[in-house]
Amino acid sequence: MRSLVFLASGNGGNLKFIDQCLRRGRLAGHRLARVIADRECGSVDYARRVGLPASVITYRREAPTALTALLDQDDPDLIVTNIHKILDRDTVLRYAGRLINLHYSLLPAFAGHIGDKPIHLALEAGCKIVGTTVHYVTEQVDAGPIITQSALAVHDGEPFDELMRRVFRSGCCNLLRSLRILDGSLECRADDRQLLAPSSEETETIDEAFWQMLATA
């Protein structure tokens, strides 16, 4: 059983998605060991409501002890770094190969920004395609080896909120696909005709009812 820890600062959309996938058997062989947040936030509220272990800590790059103590205690297989801070060098090296991040761009484009800022920058640059990247966390920000990417066409006249709804859903599926690739349950073939990931077959299995449930979770 592979254990996951989520580092969080925000509302927890990706956390909710992965947790609900686990509860519905969409991600076998995994468990959520803990949610660690650097502030009271939606991620912690959700974790408490559904009975997941949750810890709120003070984290500073100069003083990472509270974070590393919990991570050493849980000893997770993977750590999803949805925290709104750049991790310190010692922590990154300590858990090298276990830290992964979901970024809202097709890296290396628009690296170094968090949240929806990369999408704003992409639109300002006139990009016709935006996307998400799941990658390993390394010392250089947003420069670790890429695990999976997903891409979306920008529609003329589309409201930003609608585009972000599609980016969020694409990112969730991209993170799910990464976890499946990393545990060996999903093969990533070099000759796959699907140039963009996740594949259309995979995203279609997550229906609108699931997304609507997630919005109220």
Distance CA 56, CA 43 (A): 10
Burial of 72 by CB count in 10 Å (0-12 exposed, 13-18 middle, 19+ buried)?
exposed
Q: Report pTM.
A: 0.91
- Told to judge if 192 belongs to the known catalytic residues of this protein, a careful annotator would answer no
- Using one digit for the tens of pLDDT, what is the confidence trace for 47-96? 999 999 999 999 999 989 999 999 999 999 999 999 999 999 999 999 99
Residue-range definition of the domain harbouring residue 75: 2-216
Read off the CATH number of the domain in which 158 is found. Answer: 3.40.50.170
**Number of domains composing the chain:** 1
Report the pLDDT value the prediction gives residue 188, as an integer from 0 to 100: 54
Choosing from 19, 38, 88, 142, which is the catalytic residue?
142
Report the pLDDT value the prediction gives residue 149, as an integer from 0 to 100: 92
- Using one digit for the tens of pLDDT, what is the confidence trace for 10-41? 999 999 999 999 999 989 899 999 999 999 99
- Using one digit for the tens of pLDDT, what is the confidence trace for 106-159? 999 999 999 999 999 999 999 999 999 999 999 999 999 999 999 999 999 999
